[in-house]
Amino acid sequence: MRLELYNTMSRTKEPLKPVVAGRIGMYMCGPTVYSEPHLGHARGPIVFDVMRRWLEHEGFVVRLVTNVTDVGHLTDDSAADGNGEDKLARRAKLERIEPMEVAEKYFWSYFDAMAKLNVRRPSIVPRASGHIVEQIELVQKLLDNETAYERDGSVYFDVSAWKDYGALSGRDPDELLEGTRVDVRSDKDDPRDFAVWKRAEDGHIMRWNSPWGEGFPGWHLECSVMSTKYLGDEFDIHGGGLDLIFPHHESEIAQAHAAGQPFARVWTHWNMITLGGEKMAKSKDHFVTLDKLFEKFDPIAVRFHLLRSHYRSVSDFSEESLTASSQGLTRLTDTYSMVASDAGVTGADPTVERRPRDDAPFVEFRAAFAEAMNDDINTPRAIAALFDAARVVRKAVEDGAGPAYRAGAAALFDEMLAGVLGVPTAARSGSGDADAALDGAVAVILEQRQLARERRDFATSDVLRDRLEALGISIEDGPDGSRWRLAKR
């Protein structure tokens, strides 16, 4: 396996060594579905989508599990003390609907937005509320091995009993005591301890029966349970945003290891997205929802823009930067249009015989792309390799490159830009159905134009060309026929 990933646990790049040969198990911490998805929700799914696509390109069978938090994520859980109101319950009160109605509404809102970004659906999407039994079982294991304790219907993980707590984040557990008051939570033995099960107070809507009374699971518990349920006690990659390293992922590791599970081998974390150079913050109303963003920008351009920064680097968003990325993407897709107009190049119609393809001129670009992807999924370098290829291809086409060369170039962009990076190579003028209709309509007009040229009716041929160009469709005549591309976006 050539792929090296940066492991937050070891703080270095490591060769990926699958637990099971030929298979990769990936777990990504998904959304808490209590509000509309915003720009910050987009980066992680895109990163893991590209990682998954690359692994599949390299021949691996990948299972990607992304959870949905629909219970237990509290409004005040930053200190891991389990205090606060459930975020879905609070939203339900505001909208005057049931908590599960909130979860369902924003679950589909999130995945609809991901579909527009061309993020493929995960293999499995487990919900926290659907795995209460398994979470109760894990709590009981922790109680049985005395790494957790029960106080008045709540169960807390005993951080002092787990010497490796802090290994992922690099925090000293003893230092976590600084600035805390021991009496913040009177039912906890230690202010550092975190809830794995919470007693449901009067009026708390989301509650389940347990051996310790009615309550609900702690936020950290769900990921330890659902990742191992679907990927096994030991799996390959666990990911999330940098803000999840502590306390969420730190607590996941403690729970899983205390239950005797080896857990994840590699911990992958992506950096934040800034908005105009400032960290996005819902509390300050400094964020943008994906729906609002998609009203102004093509979702695929948003995806491409996020891939132009390495996932471990900060990605800044502004209208200017996104416009620049969109223009860069247009250069790539226009190059593709130049070479893919020959029938059968892309293989879209299986009844059309493919023309001979020459891959030899693109070996170095494929190698550069692969080297970048194997170096911790370095998408900016991979995209740079495609820009280099586009520049060479355009020059070759201008110099009269033949169909085999153009077919090889089209295959490169189909495979790497569309297949691995998930950025469609087809014209981005609307939905897939609209694009297909446009392709068909232009093909009919070009056929009529070709017939006019064969009759030497050049006046009609010129009128058809001019009418198309007035609509933003540029026609290029060559020895092998006419090609078209969108001149306007």
Higher-pLDDT residue of 40 and 175 is: 40
| Rounded-to-integer distance, Cα 247 and Cα 166, Å | 9
Shortest CA distance to 217 belongs to which of 252, 183, 242, 186? 252
DSSP helix/strand/coil, 236: strand
Q: How far apart are CA 226 and CA 243, in angstroms?
A: 20
User: In the chain, what are the helix, strand and coil shares in percent, each to the nearest 5?
Assistant: 45, 20, 35
CATH homologous superfamily for 4-270? HUPs (3.40.50.620)
Q: Which two tokens stand for residue 292?
A: 């609002």
User: What's the rounded Cα separation, in Å, for the pair 156 and 193?
Assistant: 6
Burial class (CB in 10 A: 0-12, 13-18, 19+), 473: buried
Domain boundaries, the chain: 4-270, 433-489
Is residue 34 scored above 90 in pLDDT?
A: no
The token pair at 198 is 């919470």
* 104-149 pLDDT per residue, tens: 888 899 999 999 999 999 999 999 999 999 999 999 999 999 999 9
What string of DSSP letters covers 443-487? HHHHHHHHHHHHTT-HHHHHHHHHHHHHTTEEEEEETTEEEEEES
Give 65-110 pLDDT, tens digit per residue. 999 988 766 544 443 444 556 677 777 777 777 777 887 888 899 9
Tell whether omega for the bond before 99 is within 30 degrees of 0, i.e. cis. no
- pLDDT tens digits for range 316-333: 999 899 999 999 999 999
Alpha-helical (H) ranges within 341-479 are 363-374, 379-398, 403-413, 432-454, 458-470
Lowest mean pLDDT among 29-38, 348-357, 400-409: 348-357
Q: Average pLDDT of 394-406?
A: 93
Q: What is the mean pLDDT of residues 202-212?
A: 88
Q: What distance in Å separates the CA atoms of residue 322 and residue 312, rounded to the nearest whole number?
A: 19
Closest CA to 482 of 468, 472, 470, 438: 468
| pLDDT tens-digit map of 97-109 | 777 788 788 889 9
According to the model, what pLDDT value does residue 157 have?
A: 96
Pairwise pLDDT comparison (124 vs 279), residue with the higher score: 124
What value does the mean pLDDT of the chain take? 86
Predicted local distance difference test score (pLDDT) of residue 283: 67
Number of Cβ within 10 Å of residue 417's Cβ equals 25
- Strand stretches in 200-355, DSSP E: 215-217, 234-241, 263-270, 273-275, 278-279, 315-317
Residue 81: per-residue pLDDT = 42
Length of the chain: 489
| Cα–Cα distance measured from residue 130 to residue 71, given in angstroms and rounded to the nearest whole number | 10
Dig out the tokens for 460 from the structure: 């009609």
Is 80 exceeded by the pLDDT of residue 277? Answer: yes
